[in-house]
Amino acid sequence: MTSHIKISPSILSADILNLGAEVQAVAAAGADWIHVDVMDGRYVPNITYGPHLVAALRRFTDLPLDVHLMISPAQPHIKAFAEAGANLITVHPDADTHIHRVLCEIKSYGIKAGIALNPGVPITAIETLVPFIDLILVMTVNPGFGGQAYIPEMTNKIRQVRHLINHSGREIELEVDGGINLETAPSAIAAGATALVAGAAIYGAADKDYQSKITALRGK
């Protein structure tokens, strides 16, 4: 497990009319990745961004674009997001009938593949997929909207995923998303997280001091 906790600010909480500047600001403040929440209004009850936005972001930053597809099916859109500049695409095991095929397609574009677990989806749903993934995303809220409260019971799930990763012997990032702030980040990190997605905790800061927020989320 890495000692450097990666921080992936979610643009879901950023100022959408100044998105380029917002992304550059968190990059300058020490962010590791930029998290892009893609929602279709079907798999989750909200509609957000498409590949054109990812392509636009690519022009503003060299940071890895951490694209989370909360869409069903995801497979028809993988190529578009890969070509738009995504460095990592995360999908849900229950969003596509043949999820192994989707993961293999993501990796065929030379980028990293992630799998996400909603609060109601058991770890057993991804056990056989571990050899094909680079990241496991544990959702600590039910996806769809930013600003939700962290579900405390998910901390044990993070521990269980950490055990799964350690047992696999593979270098797999363990990302946590949902209600991450200065109060909940320590629990997620202690349970084994190596990357944290934070939206409101960074972009919601009235003082716009993104650097201090990112540093504090790492526990430093």
In CATH, what number is assigned to the domain containing residue 86? Answer: 3.20.20.70
* Residue 1: per-residue pLDDT: 44
- Tell me, rounded to whole angstroms, the distance of Cα 73 from its chain centroid: 18
Burial 16-38 (b: 16+ CB within 10 A, else e): eeebeebbebbbebebbbbbbbb
The answer to the question of residue 129 being in a domain is: yes
Catalytic pick among 15, 32, 37, 62: 37
Domain count for the chain: 1
> Per the domain annotation, does 171 fall within a domain?
yes
> Rounded to two decimals, what is the model's pTM?
0.96
Residue 96 lies in a domain: yes
Q: Active-site residue 177, yes or no? A: yes
- In terms of residue numbers, what domain contains 77? 6-217
With respect to residue 127, please indicate whether it lies within any of the assigned structural domains: yes
- Distance separating alpha carbons of residues 34 and 84, to the nearest angstrom: 14
Let me know if 40 is a catalytic residue. Answer: no
Catalytic residue among 32, 66, 96, 177: 177
Note whether residue 70 is domain-resident.
yes
Q: Look at residue 117 and tell me if it is in a domain.
A: yes
User: What pLDDT shows up at residue 200?
Assistant: 93
CA dihedral sign of residues 61, 67, 73, 76:
positive
Q: HSE-up of 36 (CA within 13 Å, CB side)?
A: 30
What is d(CA 120, CA 70) in angstroms, rounded to the nearest whole number? 15
Q: Which pLDDT tens digits describe the chain residue by residue (220 residues)?
A: 447 999 999 999 999 999 999 999 999 999 999 999 999 999 999 999 999 999 999 999 999 999 999 999 999 999 999 999 999 999 999 999 999 999 999 999 999 999 999 999 999 999 999 999 999 999 999 988 777 899 999 999 999 999 999 999 999 999 999 999 999 999 999 999 999 999 999 998 888 899 999 999 998 7
15 belongs to a structural domain: yes
Task: Please check whether residue 1 lies inside any domain of the structure.
Answer: no
